[in-house]
Amino acid sequence: MQKGYFGSNNYHTPEKESLSIIEKIRLDSRFYFTFKYAEIVLRTRKEAIRKVYDTKAWTDSSFEILRFIENAGGIFHITGMENITRSQGSVLFISNHMSTLETMILPSIIGPHKELTFVVKESLVKHPLFGDVMRSRNPVVVGRTDPRKDLEAVMNGGVDLLKNGISIVIFPQSTRSVEFNPEEFNSLGVKLARKAGVEVVPIALKTDFWGNGKLIRELGPIDHHKQIHIKFGEPMQITGNGKEENQRIIDFIKSSLQEWK
């Protein structure tokens, strides 16, 4: 695998003593943010259509997005990255889901160390802008309308991927939400990890810097007053029915979000 982009297990956006005029314009400009994001999306879509959008291209474009988020005023705090590689082979990353930001940024954090894909909604692989890129990553696709069919899709497709050395990110919440509701955090992830015999690495994140758009959810407003937090927990093996481990993941996310208030 390629080397990581951050050089250490924790990363914090460097503070700037002063801003240039151009930087101040970027900081206050939603247009700059939307334009740069759309530019990367259109370029990577072309690469995916041409079948040249591989893991390296994916992680590079993900890190490029991280950098322009910083240029638009985003401040990252990424911690616990040593936990990504504590487990040998593939793992299941289980995370809360707050905004588009995590789906764009997590590949640059995890991808240099482990082959990676996501569990995603069917609507995303059919999306006119993002569908080609997402399909190129061979994701596990769920409909989010029939829990039984989703369970079958995750168990069948997910186990095959994990047993072939590909790690997976899953968001057990039914949809993106700024507020974390444990009752909406289902046990699909721990069930998959138990069946595949892999460890789970929990992720807690606060990414409401990037809001949801009214017309296109992925092109929402930004709030550079809100800092971005991504924290990786220690790997855990699923035992029994996984109920205890699922609660530990929920507690890890809740305590992290409380810490970041």
Residues 112-132: tens digit of each pLDDT = 999 999 999 998 899 988 999
Q: State how many domains the chain has.
A: 1
2 within some domain: no
Q: What is the pLDDT of residue 215?
A: 61
Pairwise CA distance, residues 57 & 61, whole Å = 6
Out of 104-108, 128-132, 198-202, pick the least confident.
128-132
Over residues 44-53, the pLDDT tens digits come to 999 999 999 9
Q: Within a domain: residue 121?
A: yes
| CA distance linking residue 66 with residue 58, whole number of Å | 13
In a domain? residue 4: no
For the cut 60, the answer to whether the pLDDT of residue 37 exceeds it is yes
Q: Between helices 188-196 and 243-259, what is the axis angle to 10°?
A: 130
Residue 9 above 90 pLDDT? yes
Kindly indicate the confidence band of residue 26, based on its pLDDT and cuts at 50, 70 and 90. low
- Residue 32 reports pLDDT greater than 80: no
- pLDDT for residue 91: 97
Residue 181 has pLDDT above 80, yes or no: yes
Mean pLDDT in the chain?
A: 90
Residue 37's domain comprises: 11-259
Give residue 15's pLDDT band: very low, low, confident or very high (50, 70, 90).
confident
Q: Which two tokens stand for residue 14?
A: 């460097």
- Residue 214's CB is within 10 A of a number of other CB atoms, namely 9
Q: Does residue 69 lie in a domain region?
A: yes
pLDDT band at 240 (very low <50, low <70, confident <90, very high): confident
Runs of H (alpha helix) within 54-96: 55-71
- Tell me the pLDDT tens digit for each residue of 62-93: 999 999 898 888 999 999 999 999 998 999 99
User: How many beta carbons lie within 10 A of that of residue 24, not counting itself?
Assistant: 12
| Spacing of C-alpha 123 from chain mean position | 17
Asked if residue 6 is part of any domain, the answer here is no
Residue % of the chain over a pLDDT of 90: 67
Is 218 inside any structural domain? yes
Answer for the pair 200, 91: CB distance below 8 angstroms, yes or no.
yes
Note the pLDDT of residue 19.
Answer: 62
Please tell me the distance from the alpha carbon of residue 175 to that of residue 97, in angstroms, as a whole number: 7
Per-residue pLDDT at 59: 97
Classify residue 197: in a domain, yes or no.
yes
Alpha-carbon separation of residue 161 from 114, 158, 167, 212 (angstroms): 12, 5, 7, 30
Query: 3 in a domain, yes or no?
Result: no
Q: What are phi and psi of 206, to 5 degrees?
A: -130, 105
Q: Which amino acid is at 134?
A: M
Give the pLDDT of residue 27: 59
Give pLDDT, residue 16. 74
Written as one letter, the residue type at 203 is: I
